[in-house]
Amino acid sequence: MSKVLRSEPLSDADAKWVGLRAIYWQDPTGKERKWECADRRTRKGDADAVAICAIVQRPSSEPHMLLVSQFRPPVNSSVIEMPAGLIDAGEEGEEGTRRAALRELKEETGYGTDKEGGKIDVKLVSTVMANDPGMTSSNMKLCVIRIDLADDAPEPVAEPDEGEFIERHLVPVHGLMNALLDFQKKGFAVDARLAHAAIGIELGLGRLGAENSKI
């Protein structure tokens, strides 16, 4: 069972993966102000990370979203997230993002990029999005990927890196919100971006205050 054993302050000079920065900026009135910011130190391309919104479709089932969970030391919990990973050197631009997404999807879930992994259709490659931009320069891109599998195709086999311990979960796309509430009841934490996608699905379905969308 994963757990945090202890933690201690880390000096900016000793940190390899993250860092702190003081930013001096000019506000709209011309006044100079100071802001504190945390950065990732691993950026190699045009964004830190790529996440994959993977929609798995078998002919006789409703579409499912492919999620992962793993223990995240910063929050001392297993977290339900979309599959994701850091972008490697050489994975720039839209084509690079696509390659990074398919690489991470394969590693973390086994889905995609060959016959056993399903038929792949990349529906969307986003531009760069800001993660929590009041606190950090950390950013990401998102790929929406549809994966078609035969009804009788076996579940693909994941290929995790050393030190990665990742579980897969398939939940109905239109039941995402309830699925996340169930995961929380079981003790998982939920990634905020994934939860926002779930809220969006509810709004797209004309719920949660968007009922009049159907007029």
Task: Determine if 170 is a binding residue for a second copy (CB under 8 A).
Answer: no
Q: For residues 66 and 168, is the Cβ–Cβ distance under 8 A?
A: yes
Task: Determine if 203 is a binding residue for a second copy (CB under 8 A).
Answer: yes
What 3-state DSSP class applies to 215? coil
In whole angstroms, what is the distance from residue 122 CA to residue 165 CA? 26
| Among 45, 66, 81, 100, contact with a second copy (rule: CB under 8 A) | 81
Task: Determine if 184 is a binding residue for a second copy (CB under 8 A).
Answer: yes
Instruction: Looking at residues 14 to 73 of the shown chain, list those that interact with a second copy (rule: CB under 8 A).
Output: 14-28, 32-33, 35-40, 49, 53, 55, 57, 62-63, 71-73
| Among 88, 94, 116, 144, contact with a second copy (rule: CB under 8 A) | 144
- Residues contacting 51, CB < 8 A, separation 6+: 81, 82, 83, 84, 140, 141, 142, 143, 193
Please compute Rg for the chain using Cα positions. Answer: 19
Residue matched to tokens 């809220």: 199
- Using the minimum distance from each CB to a second copy, give the nearer residue, 96 or 147: 147
Task: Determine if 2 is a binding residue for a second copy (CB under 8 A).
Answer: yes
| Among 90, 93, 160, 204, contact with a second copy (rule: CB under 8 A) | 204
- Using the minimum distance from each CB to a second copy, give the nearer residue, 78 or 110: 78
Q: Degrees (nearest 5) of the Cα angle 142, 143, 149? A: 145
